[in-house]
Chains A and B, each alone.
Chain A
Amino acid sequence: MWARRRFLGAVGGLAAAGGLSGCGTAVGQGLTGAEGPRSELAFWHPFTGGDGAQLAAMERPYRRRHPGVRLKPTTMVWGSPYYTKLTLATLSKRPPQVAITHLSRLPTLAASGLLRGITERELAEHGMSPGHFRTSAFRTAHHGGMLYAVPLDTHPFVLYYRTDVAKKAGLLGSDGELADIDGPEKYVDALRAAKEATGAWGASVASVKDPATCWRLFWSLYRQLGAELVADGGRRVVMDTGAAEEVLAYIRRLAVEKLVPPAADGNGGAITLLTSGKAGFLMDGEWQLLAVRGAVGGKFDMRPFPRIFHDGPYACAADSHAFILPKAGSVHAQRAGQALDFVRSMLGSSLDWAKGGHIPAWQPTARSAAYRRLKPQSHYAAAADGAAYDPAAWYAGADSNLYRKFGDVITSVLGGHLRPEPGAARMREGLRELARTEAPV
């Protein structure tokens, strides 16, 4: 009996000792809320694609320069799951020291008090100043007058095209560049010529199971009409239903004239149409660059999304990746200095980031000769000037409910299941419903 008790006691003691020593491990920290060793720098990001490999290359110089810091990068799946984990980790006081966000998600994160603000003095201490960043991205990194993020890039919706198809279709100018395709009629003419050259489609765009791409197509055209969507942080709907109708009608026209497939899969299907030569153009984000290059090599080029409408300034849907410092429980757990040091080092490797397709926000790189030599990256770099960010509202932003609601309508209109007029009405109704719903922030 006593022997057994002693035995049990010993086991309990061992378990307790193991638990204490477990503080050093991630599980131990998760259970106890310990801040982890000071030498550790946790970094969360959602780059599972080709850009993830670029990011790993950018971490290398930092590791070399800071052998004393144990950098712990964690890759998670893009979208809502990523933001859920980031939010819950921050709420429960176990956030990473530094993380990536889309600037379109910043209003929600910042308004919820999940982020640590960054002062200009702190930036300066780590060798950064507002002038180092693309103005539009740096402005969008603010919330309520406070800087909450350090922009890494601008990633717009662009136009890919097969140079062989364009040549066959007679769309290339004498300089080997794509001829003027701006304007509603000129663009349709170009797609028609490409369709004749491919014998299948003029262009492809991921319209099925890809509300994000649908949204980007819509938002680019809608902003080119100079129209606004919401005001007051999303509480007031100022949607221009007529403009939305015009955009939807144009999108539908592309399918009716059989220039764009009425349903192309978001899971690689749309890209495959381009890479297999069944479409001459692809409307997609620049981050598909590595995937497209991997499939067709040098037989393609890229340019900014065409200017279809002239009612507003040039616009193409865009977002930015940016570094944030999730609010930690203590100064030691925050390690803001170390985090900003890391951010500065990553920005210094912006050229590697640009190789993955993204347009660097770090101007010393964006203006460098080395970046200008990068092709096709430099061919669409101008798109960043027309970057149209998502409206600031809790229900908007990367992988949001707004994407889903609008994406559904766009998919249905393109596929011919819904006419543009009721489509636009449904968009407005969906938007009003979201605006009416009490904000969770």
Chain B
Amino acid sequence: MSAASGAAPNSQADVGGSGGDGPGAGGAVRARGSRHGRWTAPGMLLPFGVFYVVFLLGPLVYTAVAGFFGGSLVKGGLGRWVGLKNYREALGSADFWSSLGHTFYFTLLTTVPLVLIALVLALLADRFARGRWFFRLAFFAPFMLPSAVISLLFMWIFADEIGLAQGVVKWFGVETPPSWLGDPDWAMISVAAATVWWTVGFNFVLYLAALQEIPAEVHEAAAMDGAGPWQRLRLVVVPMLGRATTLVAVLQLVASLKVFDQIYMMTSGGPDDSTRPSLLYIYQTGFTDGRTGYASTVSLLLFVVILLVSLVWFAMVRRTEKGS
């Protein structure tokens, strides 16, 4: 949402700018040019604008409206007006809060390692003068797989009795390995581990690009000032990666808050709802139960939560950037 709304004004400014500042020419030409210019910018914006209204703004407004009705999947239309009943039900529902809690737990379990591991991998891969392409490919490759493939892979790895993960743990001498996806205490950790392996490549590439932007002179200067390798890493490289870290962390945060695919396929939210994130709760109330009105309310609440988290994050980042 935020990315798309940010893109619209930018593209308008660009198109408008090039229309107005055309190459200098005679008055008549300029007059014709500006008449054209009046329609060029909106005309070029129109395709995206239509798309934006039809697929983003429209559904958002519809969701907000539908949240005040008792709509049903098996009946047409908005249903009966229920006012704030859906909101009262959602905010008073233990399922709503637990699913939101699981969403945040998953976000914590994935965002932290996804930032740190990506950074470490990028630092390691950056050391290679030759053959760097191989590591770049190897670490990035899992990210190109679709969520269904990842889920299937890890469902077999984490499978009870016959899975690889239990076998490995047994080999290390653990008599009764946990049921990775079947134990409420382990299921979310297992899903998070699979997700980290799957998506770490994207952050890794962002970090690697940022590392390559750091000029060699900075390294040389620091070395001449007597900084050891650790000091160079801690005091020079990591601070210079600040902007990349912000980008990686924000993208990761939003992606993790929107988790659905792999959990839907790997655990369907189980066992005992211990891995059910908010989006799955929305899916279950909307599509399994057919209560679309209530599901709209929960969707809107989740949207607000993600918006708030992103805003708070941006504010924090901006303050630290200003401070430095």
Q: Are B70 and A438 in contact (CB under 8 A)?
A: yes
Q: Which of B70, B272, B289 contacts A408 (CB 8 A)?
A: B272
> Is B203 an interface residue, CB under 8 A from the partner?
no
Q: Which of A92, A207, A209, A395 contacts B289 (CB 8 A)?
A: A395
Residues of A282-309 whose CB lies within 8 A of B: none
> Is B181 an interface residue, CB under 8 A from the partner?
yes
Inter-chain contacts of B163 with A (CB < 8 A): 265
Residues of A243-302 whose CB lies within 8 A of B: 261-265, 267-269, 272-273, 276, 278
Q: Are B72 and A263 in contact (CB under 8 A)?
A: no
Inter-chain contacts of A383 with B (CB < 8 A): none
Q: Which of A109, A262, A415 contacts B74 (CB 8 A)?
A: A109
Q: Which of B73, B183, B284 contacts A404 (CB 8 A)?
A: B284
B interface, over-half SS: loop
Query: Roughly how many angstroms separate A440 CA and B287 CA in the complex, as a whole number?
Result: 11
> Is A80 an interface residue, CB under 8 A from the partner?
yes
Query: Roughly how many angstroms separate A245 CA and B266 CA in the complex, as a whole number?
Result: 30
Query: Roughly how many angstroms separate A84 CA and B74 CA in the complex, as a whole number?
Result: 8
> Is B113 an interface residue, CB under 8 A from the partner?
no
Q: Which of A278, A404, A415, A440 contacts B161 (CB 8 A)?
A: A278
CB distance from B215 to the nearest CB of A (A): 51
Inter-chain contacts of A114 with B (CB < 8 A): 74
User: Given A269-B161, A415-B183, does the pair A87, B290 have CB atoms closer than 8 Å?
Assistant: yes
Inter-chain contacts of B160 with A (CB < 8 A): 208, 261, 263-265, 269
| Residues of B in contact, count (CB < 8 Å) | 32
User: Given A87-B74, A265-B160, A412-B271, does the pair A208, B181 have CB atoms closer than 8 Å?
Assistant: yes
User: Given A112-B74, A440-B72, does the pair A415, B179 have CB atoms closer than 8 Å?
Assistant: yes
Inter-chain contacts of A276 with B (CB < 8 A): 162
Query: Roughly how many angstroms separate A81 CA and B264 CA in the complex, as a whole number?
Result: 12
CB distance from B160 to the nearest CB of A (A): 5
User: Given A264-B161, A415-B179, A415-B182, does the pair A112, B284 have CB atoms closer than 8 Å?
Assistant: no
Q: Are B155 and A267 in contact (CB under 8 A)?
A: yes
Inter-chain contacts of B271 with A (CB < 8 A): 208-209, 408, 411-412, 415
User: Given A84-B287, A263-B160, A269-B160, does the pair A209, B182 have CB atoms closer than 8 Å?
Assistant: yes
Residues of A394-441 whose CB lies within 8 A of B: 394-395, 399-401, 404, 407-409, 411-412, 415, 417-418, 437-438, 440-441
Interface string of A86-108 (1 = CB under 8 A from B): 01100110000000000000001
Interface string of A203-246 (1 = CB under 8 A from B): 00001110100000000000000000000000000000000000
Q: Are B74 and A91 in contact (CB under 8 A)?
A: yes
Query: Roughly how many angstroms separate A114 CA and B73 CA in the complex, as a whole number?
Result: 11
> Is B268 an interface residue, CB under 8 A from the partner?
yes
Q: Which of A84, A399, A415, A440 contacts B291 (CB 8 A)?
A: A440
CB distance from B46 to the nearest CB of A (A): 15
Inter-chain contacts of B269 with A (CB < 8 A): 404
Q: List the 5 shortest-distance A-B pairs measured between CB atoms, nearest first.
A: A112-B74, A440-B72, A208-B182, A263-B179, A263-B182
Chain B residues near A (Cβ < 8 Å):
70, 72-76, 155, 159-163, 179, 181-184, 266-273, 284, 287-292
Q: Can you pick out 10 interface pairs between chain A and chain B where the beta carbons lie within 8 Å of each other?
A: A80-B288, A92-B76, A108-B74, A276-B162, A404-B269, A411-B271, A411-B272, A412-B184, A415-B183, A440-B292
